[in-house]
Amino acid sequence: MADVMRKYGPGPRVHFHLGLFPADAVPNTSVPRETLRQRLVEAQENMLDFAADVWGVAASPPRRILDVGCGLGGGSIYWAQRFGSAVTAVTNMPGDVPLVKELVARAEMSHLVEPLLMDAHDMDLPMRHNAAVAFESVCHMDRRRVFPAVARALERGGWFALEDHFLLRGEWAGTIDGYYRTNLGSVQEYQDIAASCGFVLEHNTDITDQVVEFWVQSMAWTASELDHAYATQQWSLPERRLTDSAVAHGRFFRAWRDRAVETRLLLFRLRG
């Protein structure tokens, strides 16, 4: 996670997902690397704010939220700080748990956020949750297993809200899935599997146009990081990792701009 911390840190709210820019925004990329980093982090926070608004979280804040695939816990800390929710932060990465706990402690949210090392496909939790969230994590999972697991963890009438990517043109599957180790599907696939577990789709919001610029700013940050490393011969991250990222994000920019892939906010409610 050193690359994530370098690009999206220092935290305590560290996110590893896309962020929102206004659909017509074209921010100048000829700016200092730190300015680019701050833009990326701000855009990620904008994503959470917008999702919370679309999902009506402020009107009825969940008492207990399940964060499915919490990454480094940035979203978990967000829900706790912003809405006072108790959050169960589930990750299947043993090496990330100490860092998540450290970031939660830095945010002074240890009383509300509980990191758990657990496979989301096999969750067996002692308490029921009012809500569950997943930001760009379900695309890495077996939907036929994770939706039933989430349903078991929710109270009747609870909701499962996602931000995720959906494949519209199959020729891009190998490029994206190969780089991010995902298994992109369709909205219809999610809806069908969710329905089989007792969920009803309540919200489906297209945010593709607002995330396209994130790829541009990300490419600019990586290019600036490479320029700095070549000039100083001080490598904070491996050269191959940076060059691969720059090339890949250029491809992803085209995929999202051309709508070969869409990014959407979905909210499913478990029937009461």
Is 253 domain-assigned? no
- State the pLDDT at residue 102: 98
pLDDT digits (tens, 9 = 90+) for 260-272: 999 999 999 999 7
User: CA-CA distance, 166 to 207, in Å (whole number)?
Assistant: 12
Residue 141 in domain: yes
**Tens digit of each residue's pLDDT (9 = 90 or more) over 105-136:** 999 999 999 999 999 999 989 889 999 999 99
- pLDDT band, residue 178 (cuts 50/70/90): very high
Structure tokens at 241: 């990792």
Which pLDDT does position 23 carry in this prediction?
Answer: 81
pLDDT one-digit tens code per residue, 205-254: 999 999 999 999 999 999 998 988 888 888 877 888 889 999 999 999 99
Structurally, the chain folds into a number of domains equal to 1
Look at 3-17, 184-198, 201-215 and tell me which has the smallest mean pLDDT.
Answer: 3-17
Which string of b and e fits 65-100 if b means at least 16 CB within 10 Å? bbbbbbbbbbbbbbbbbebebbbbbbbbeeebbebb
Give the structural domain span for 89.
49-208+259-270
- Residue 101 inside a domain? The answer is yes
CB-based contacts of 192, cutoff 8 Å, min separation 6 = none
What is the predicted pLDDT for the residue at 3? 78
Q: Give the CATH number, domain containing residue 120.
A: 3.40.50.150
What is the structure's pLDDT at 149? 98
| Entry field: residues in the chain | 272
Tell me whether residue 1 is in a domain. no
How does residue 85 score in pLDDT terms, banded at 50, 70 and 90?
Answer: very high
26 part of a folded domain: no
